[in-house]
Amino acid sequence: MNADTLVQISQVRGDAPINDQHTPILLFLWKLGWPLGVRPGVLLLIQAAVFLIGSYLVLRVALRPLGASIAAALVALSPPVLGQLGLLGRDTWFVCLLVLTFGLIALAARRPGRPATWPLVLAAVAAFLCLAARQNAAPAVAIAVIAVAFLLWGPRLDGRRRLVRLGAPIVAGLALTIVVLGAQVAAVRVAGTFTVHPTQGVYIYDLAAFSRREDRSLFPDSVYAGGVGAIESTSSLDNIIPMVAGPNAIFHTPLSGEQTADLGDAWLDYVFDHPFDWLDVHWDAWLRQIGLTAGELVVYHPGIDPNPFGYEIAFTDSNRTLVDYLKLFVSDGSLDSGLFIYRPFIYLLLAAAAAWWLLRRGREAAIVGALALAGLAYQVGFFLATVATQYRFEFPAVVLGMLATVAAVALAIRARVERHRASAAAPG
How far apart, in whole angstroms, are the C-alpha atoms of residue 144 and residue 400? 13
Other beta carbons within 10 angstroms of residue 28's beta carbon come to 17
Confirm if 136 and 378 have CB atoms less than 8 A apart: yes
Is the model's pLDDT at 166 over the cut of 90? no
- Per-residue confidence (pLDDT) for residue 116, from 0 to 100: 85
Confirm if 263 and 204 have CB atoms less than 8 A apart: yes
Is the model's pLDDT at 106 over the cut of 90? yes
Single out the residue of 78, 91, 80 nearest to residue 4, CA to CA. 91
Is the model's pLDDT at 151 over the cut of 60? yes
How far apart, in whole angstroms, are the C-alpha atoms of residue 321 and residue 308? 26
Is the model's pLDDT at 159 over the cut of 90? no
How far apart, in whole angstroms, are the C-alpha atoms of residue 143 and residue 202? 25
pLDDT tens digit sequence for 17-61: 999 988 999 999 999 999 999 999 999 999 999 999 999 999 999
pLDDT band, residue 332 (cuts 50/70/90): low
**Cα-based distances in Å from 145 to 55, 128, 346, 374, 411:** 18, 10, 26, 11, 24
For 154-166, what is the mean pLDDT? 79
- Per-residue confidence (pLDDT) for residue 84, from 0 to 100: 94
pLDDT band, residue 171 (cuts 50/70/90): very high
- Per-residue confidence (pLDDT) for residue 302, from 0 to 100: 84
* DSSP secondary structure of 294-318: SPBS-----S----TT----S-HHH
- Residues whose CB falls within 8 Å of the CB of residue 19, separated by 6 or more in sequence, listed in order: 11, 193, 194, 195, 196
For 364-376, what is the mean pLDDT? 97
Report helix, strand or coil for 331.
coil
Per mean pLDDT, which range of 23-27, 208-212, 294-298, 372-376 is the poorest? 294-298
How far apart, in whole angstroms, are the C-alpha atoms of residue 123 and residue 105? 6
**Within 13 Å and on the Cβ side, how many CA atoms surround 424?**
6
Confirm if 33 and 81 have CB atoms less than 8 A apart: no
Rounded to 10 degrees, what is the CA torsion of 43, 45, 47, 51?
A: -170
Average pLDDT, the chain: 93
Residue extents of the structural domains in the chain: 3-193+338-419, 198-290
- Residues whose CB falls within 8 Å of the CB of residue 384, separated by 6 or more in sequence, listed in order: 282
pLDDT tens digit sequence for 54-71: 999 999 999 999 999 999
pLDDT tens digit sequence for 83-94: 999 999 999 999
Is the model's pLDDT at 426 over the cut of 80? no
pTM of the predicted structure, to 2 decimals:
0.94
pLDDT band, residue 187 (cuts 50/70/90): very high
How far apart, in whole angstroms, are the C-alpha atoms of residue 213 and residue 232? 10
- Per-residue confidence (pLDDT) for residue 428, from 0 to 100: 57
Is the model's pLDDT at 333 over the cut of 70? no
